[in-house]
Amino acid sequence: MKIYNTMSKSKEEFIPLEEGKVKMYVCGPTVYNFIHIGNARPMIVFDTVRRYFEYRGYDVNFVSNFTDVDDKIIRKANEEGVTADEISKRYIEECKKDMEGMNIKPATKNPLATEEIGGMIDMISTLIEKGYAYEKNGTVYYRTRKFEEYGKLSHKNLDDLQSGGRALLVTGEDEKEDSLDFVLWKPKKEGEPAWQSPWGEGRPGWHIECSEMSKKYLGEQIDIHAGGEDLIFPHHENEIAQSEAANGKAFAKYWMHNGFLNIDNRKMSKSLGNFFTVREISEKYDLQVLRFFMLSAHYRSPLNFSAGLMEAAGNGLERIVTAAANLKFLMGNAQVEKITEEEASLFAQTDRFKENFEKAMDDDFNTADAIAAIFDFVKFINTNASGNSSKEYLGKLHERLAELSNVLGIIVDKKDEMLDAEIEKMIEERQAARKNRDFARADQIRADLLAKGIVLEDTREGVKWKRV
Ligand code: AMP
Ligand code: ZN
């Protein structure tokens, strides 16, 4: 299995630290609002990476945090006149609902920054003892130049950074020994959440949170550390400086970063205001379509979001779930139980689809090619399964299709559910048309539904529907 490592800028063979095990940390969202579909990209991508390791027989310890103390959370809390804790708890719950909708497996552990402050204080103290950090007026800074390998992940040169840093020097920054130094602990400001520490009341910097939570739940050395490519610098670079200086060991073996999800070729982000939340998308599409759309491109490439591409993803997914539904239907009506010799050799031919799928995934998780292998398999199913096939043979085809799709987090037996959502949407539209006295439109929708085999019944309790 090969993984592209941001550190070496090349694909490397995956060799786990411990035989049969993968220790993986993915930087999670800052929870001050509903997540947008840009945030969903690393969730979907690294859940798929995890699923593939599990498919390959690895035991995966998957840790992903929630950043639940941050300026943006505090600002939102002040706007609403509630506590920061209330904001973060609310949006963690909403985020978990979205993740479930996208079929993202629950992490082994989702640590919360606010529950790990003690460990962060210990790590900062160790850095001070070792000479890698210093305190000034209640703020603790990391002494960046002391860590000789600083810049090794982002391939940045310290002197280039320094000249950029000087230009950016702002008030208060001059208390730092060096403009490159970054904050590990900041003193309390009025109205902000704060914790007791040896340097007075305050809260941790963002970077130290991940260094500590990764260490606590996975150990000092981990296999994979991952996140969006905007985290390479400074977040991950700083995490390396902190963890390696404190622990005296190499931190993560492989650094994986997903490309951006763009809209009109600009990064989708909350600050630019050009985003769709996962919740909004779920009102228009089954979230499996979003997942399938994300995996149709390589995870390191930029991906442009558009209604047209979502439509195409929906159609592709439809082909897969329809093939699975047909197999189920044929199984229900099969006249022959046991697989025949001829069918056994036909089934053996499908090994090549599985092999192509694995080859694609082994090559740095090339999900686009893996999906192409599934499409080839679907074509095979459509021509080699029929009313004359045995139940066992059909069952084996279905099982293989479900197994490969499951690695991508796609549930193939979701056709009815997906259809139900579509029907409900059309019924709602018909109700709205009737309310607006647009009876022609309402009748048209009734006719369209009938063409799909759906009959509507207007009852006193509302509209009921059934398949005929
Ligand atoms: P944040 O809440 O901004 O800390 O982001 C949480 C995760 O989402 C990080 O791994 C980011 O790199 C990632 N992320 C944010 N916006 C995008 C985007 N437009 N495309 C891909 N990943 C993103
Ligand atoms: Zn992080």
- Whose atoms come closest to the Cα of 38: which ligand? 1
pLDDT for res 330:
95
Q: Which ligand is nearest to the CA of 209?
A: 2
SS3 assignment, position 276: coil
160: confidence class by pLDDT, cuts 50, 70, 90: confident
Task: Determine the distance separating the centroid of ligand 1 and the alpha carbon of 25, expressed in angstroms.
Answer: 15
For the chain, the residue count is: 468
- Rounded mean pLDDT, 133-156: 97
Q: In what order do the strands lie in the sheet with 252-258?
A: 59-64, 21-26, 222-228, 252-258
Q: 236 alpha carbon to ligand 2 midpoint, in Å? A: 7
Q: How high is the pLDDT of residue 425?
A: 84
CA of 218 to the centre of ligand 2 (A): 14
- 236-283 pLDDT, tens digit each: 999 999 999 999 999 999 999 999 999 988 999 888 889 999 999 999
Q: How far is the CA of 466 from the centre of ligand 1 (A)?
A: 42
**Is the shortest distance between the CB of 95 and ligand 1 below 6 Å?**
no
Ligand 1 pocket member 230 (CB < 6 A): yes
Residues 6+ apart with CB under 8 A from 9: 155
Which of 96-105, 376-385, 421-430 is least confident?
Answer: 421-430
Alpha-carbon distance of 241 to 235, in angstroms, equals: 10
- Band of the pLDDT at 173, cuts 50, 70, 90? low
Say yes or no: CB of residue 66 within 6 Å of ligand 1: no
Ligand 1, atom 9, lies closest to the CA of 228
Going by C-alpha positions, the residue among 65, 63, 60 that lies closest to residue 18 is 60
Residue 172, pLDDT > 60, answer no
| pLDDT per position as a tens digit, 336-370 | 999 999 999 999 999 999 999 999 999 999 999 99
Q: Which atom number of ligand 1 is nearest to the Cα of residue 226?
A: 10
Average pLDDT value for residue range 46-70: 97
Residue 228 to residue 276: CA distance in whole angstroms = 17
Q: Which amino acid is at 158?
A: L
**Cβ of 38 less than 6 Å from ligand 1:** yes
The reply to whether ligand 1 has any atom less than 6 angstroms from the CB of 29 is yes
- How far apart CA 228 and CA 215 sit, in angstroms, is 20
Locate the ligand 1 atom nearest the alpha carbon of residue 268 and give its number: 19
d(CA 411, CA 403): 9
Average pLDDT over residues 358-387: 98
pTM, entire model: 0.90
Which numeric CATH code is attached to 307-407?
1.20.120.640
Under the banding of pLDDT at 50, 70 and 90, the label for residue 166 is low
Averaged pLDDT, 92-105: 98
Q: Is 33 in the pocket of ligand 1 (CB under 6 A)?
A: no
- Residue 227 CA: nearest ligand 1 atom is 10
Contact yes or no for 398/328 (Cβ under 8 A): yes
* 267 Cα nearest atom in ligand 1: 19
pLDDT computed for residue 165 by the predictor: 58
Q: In the numeric block, which tokens belong to residue 251? A: 């931190």
Cα separation, 283 vs 414, in Å, equals: 17
Amino acid in position 139: T
pLDDT band for position 37 (50/70/90)?
A: very high
Q: How many angstroms separate the alpha carbon of residue 228 from the centre of ligand 1? A: 5
Tens digits of per-residue pLDDT, 291-329?
A: 999 999 999 999 999 999 999 999 999 999 999 999 999
Pocket test for ligand 1, best of 39, 65, 68, 267 (most atoms within 8 A of CB): 39
Nearest-CA residue for ligand 1 atom 18 is 38
DSSP string for 71-128:
HHHHHHHHHHTS-HHHHHHHHHHHHHHHHHHTTPPPPSB--BGGG-HHHHHHHHHHHH
Mean pLDDT of the chain: 94
What pLDDT does residue 264 have?
Answer: 84
Ligand 1 and 27: CB distance under 6 A: yes
Q: Is the CB of 32 under 6 A from ligand 1?
A: no
Burial label, 217 (beta-carbon count in 10 A; 0-12, 13-18, 19+): buried
Q: Are strands 133-136 and 454-459 parallel, antiparallel or unpaired?
A: unpaired
- Which atom of ligand 1 is found nearest the CA of 28? 6
Burial, 271: exposed, middle or buried (Cβ in 10 Å; 0-12, 13-18, 19+)? exposed
**Which residue's alpha carbon is at the smallest distance from atom 16 of ligand 1?**
38
Decide: 30 in ligand 1 pocket, CB within 6 A: yes
CB of residue 304 inside a 6 A radius of ligand 1: no
Percent of the chain residues topping a pLDDT of 90: 86
Q: Which atom of ligand 1 is nearest to the CA of 229?
A: 12
C-alpha span between 383 and 354 (Å, rounded) = 18
Task: Evaluate if residue 391 carries a pLDDT over 70.
Answer: yes
Q: Which of 73, 230, 304 to mutate to test the pocket of ligand 1 (most atoms within 8 A of CB)?
A: 230
Q: Is 279 helix (H, G, I), strand (E, B) or coil?
A: helix
Largest CA distance in the chain: 82
The model's confidence at residue 444, banded by pLDDT at 50, 70 and 90, is: very high
- CATH 3.40.50.620 fits domain 2-258: yes
Cα–Cα distance measured from residue 5 to residue 320, given in angstroms and rounded to the nearest whole number: 32
Q: Tell me the ligand closest to 29's alpha carbon.
A: 1
Rounded Cα–Cα distance for residues 369 and 359 (Å) = 9
**Does ligand 1 have an atom closer than 6 angstroms to the CB of 261?**
yes
For 165, the token pair is 């840093």
Q: Quote the ligand 1 centre to 259 CA distance (angstroms).
A: 9
Please determine, for residue 226, whether its predicted confidence score (pLDDT) is greater than 90: yes
